[in-house]
Amino acid sequence: MTSFPLKNHRGYPCPGRKISILSGPALLLFALALLATATSFSQILSVDQSKRHLVTQDGKSFLMVGEAAWSLIAQLSDADVDYYLQAAHNRGINVVLVNLIEHDFASNAPRNYYNQSPFSGTAFSSTPNDAYFVHADHAISSAAQFGIVVMLAPVYLGYACGNEGWCAEVKNASASDMQSWGNYVGQRYAGYQNIIWVMGGDTDPTSVKSKVQAVVDGIKQYDMVHLFTAHNNSEQEAIDPWSGATWLDINNVYTYTSTLYQSCASAYRVSPTMPYFLIEAAYENEHSSTQQQLRAQSYWTVLSGGIGHIFGNCPVWHFDSAPGWCNPSGWKNQMSSQGHRNLSYFHDLFVSRRWELLIPDTGHKALTAGYSSSTSYAAAAYCSDSSSVIAYLPSSRSVTVDLSMVGGDSAAVWWYNPSNGSYSRNGTYARTSRSFTPPGSGDWVLVVDNENLYPGTSVPLTLGVNETRETQVTLGGVYPNPFRSTLNIVSGKSQLVEVFDILGRRVYARRMPDGQSTLTWTPRNLSYGVYFVRVGGAFVKPFKVLYAP
């Protein structure tokens, strides 16, 4: 085994607050008040100019590493919401798919954990109950603190327009009722930065299409910022029942097919071009899914031009409210499942390379032989700047790669095990055609790099594929806080340490040396005030500290 040269191409987020310059007691009182409040970095997303990706406000491509958490708001207490979001963050999850209101999948649906109903009377035609939505507010705000975007479904219709969702109530409501509902949620959540709206849910919406459109219209009267997608019936893309809908910003694939890459290829070819992701496929512990199948779903999607996927685990998606759906119980125990570990390894690999430049190798220019077919199909993609080629092999076999698809003087070749995050260097080769065989059985990822960009002696710049996020987060800390002259920054790993001022400017950056657990930071020529200390990269929640006289 050897060092895998992970290079992170994510940008540095900027705190969303700006303040006027204060001094003396006024500064101290303001800063102490700020320390007591929640702070998050902006997660407003938009579609980039290529129409292939989502980007953050600073223009960085957003890899969607998601989880279905459908019953989060209706089933859990505030404390368990926070527990889940922390655990999700630890796994590298940056998107959760959530129902704003649950019709069936909660222990006391549609009431929440606190026995609060979303409506004062008949659904959609009566006044929404603000108390219910205060709890929803907490969940969305807490997600923002962990850098997690909430894909929020305001009117989940339910499988086959049945009792699992709100389809019957939507049919009974008037278009005016549904638009008013859209007005309510649009006005309430327009100011939250970490939302993508998800219309419909688990059914073809055609029978209630005008009512769902009324909800969209109502939301957009107050919210012209957040993106929209749709969750339809299985084997449908988001656009299928919504052809020509100008509000639909993001396409997606919902499929249970064993050759998922074919559905992804179809979504990639959509005209006009739209970004797409895998919104649902087989969940862990359901549909007799295997771990290899779950991994294939995620790798096939991104290597076929997608921007990421939504992983699902039973019982996590319903948080133990529907025990008949799967044998495992205890959603908290499932947060360390093999499927969740797969998700972490998937995240770490792709953010270490220029994934946003990947072009699907549908013409087999890079992977020229051994790609096979059906469930054994090896999906590959190459970067438009010739920096890397990445291929996912569902089973071990010899494959042939045209190494001239990467630039530089030579090609560095790696094998990455997606089941445990281990990696090994195969060697460095001239940029000609060459065959490679994985070092073991099972599924593997082949990574070919421009050796000039990713030399074998590189030191990882951020979280390595063998490090766990739990260790990364829990071993970090800062003290004293507030501090007068020197701040101690603690980390149990060799990780990047950064400090940002209140305007989002980076004022300090240093890597924790190997074998050292503490760095000391003494501000030089900096004003007193609030600063943000981040240990370990862009997906890590920063520590808020006060530099005070």
The secondary structure of 344-367 as a DSSP string is: HHHHHHHHTTTGGGEEE-TT-SSE
Cα separation, 328 vs 325, in Å, equals 9
Mean pLDDT of 294-302: 98
Cα separation, 320 vs 322, in Å, equals 6
Mean pLDDT of 485-492: 79
3-state secondary structure labels for all residues of 289-346: CCHHHHHHHHHHHHHCCCCEEEECECCCCCCCCCHHHCCCCCHHHHCCCHHHHHHHHH
Residues 149-163 have pLDDT tens digits of 999 999 999 999 999
Residues 368-385 have pLDDT tens digits of 999 999 999 999 999 999
Q: Are 499 and 507 spatial neighbours (Cβ–Cβ below 8 Å)?
A: yes
At residue 483 the predicted structure's pLDDT band, cuts being 50, 70 and 90, is: confident
Q: State the helix-helix crossing angle for 130-145 and 78-90, rounded to 10 degrees.
A: 20
The residue among 36 and 304 whose pLDDT is bigger is 304
Q: Are 393 and 379 spatial neighbours (Cβ–Cβ below 8 Å)?
A: no
Sketch out the chain's domains with CATH numbers: 42-351 (3.20.20.80), 357-450 (2.60.40), 475-547 (2.60.40.10)
Q: Are 165 and 157 spatial neighbours (Cβ–Cβ below 8 Å)?
A: yes
Q: Going by DSSP bridges, is the β-strand pair 308-311/64-68 parallel, antiparallel, or unpaired?
A: parallel
Paired strand residues for 277: 252
Q: What is the pLDDT of residue 537?
A: 60
Cα separation, 540 vs 87, in Å, equals 12
Cα separation, 205 vs 157, in Å, equals 8
Cα separation, 43 vs 57, in Å, equals 7
Least confident of 58-67, 93-102, 197-206, 503-512: 503-512
Q: Are 181 and 215 spatial neighbours (Cβ–Cβ below 8 Å)?
A: yes
**Listed residue (369, 389, 66, 27) closest to 231, CA to CA:** 66
Angle at 511 between CA 506 and CA 513, to 5 degrees: 155
Give percent of the chain above pLDDT 90: 69
Q: Going by DSSP bridges, is the β-strand pair 228-231/195-200 parallel, antiparallel, or unpaired?
A: parallel
Q: Dihedral through CA 382, CA 388, CA 391, CA 392, nearest 10? A: -120
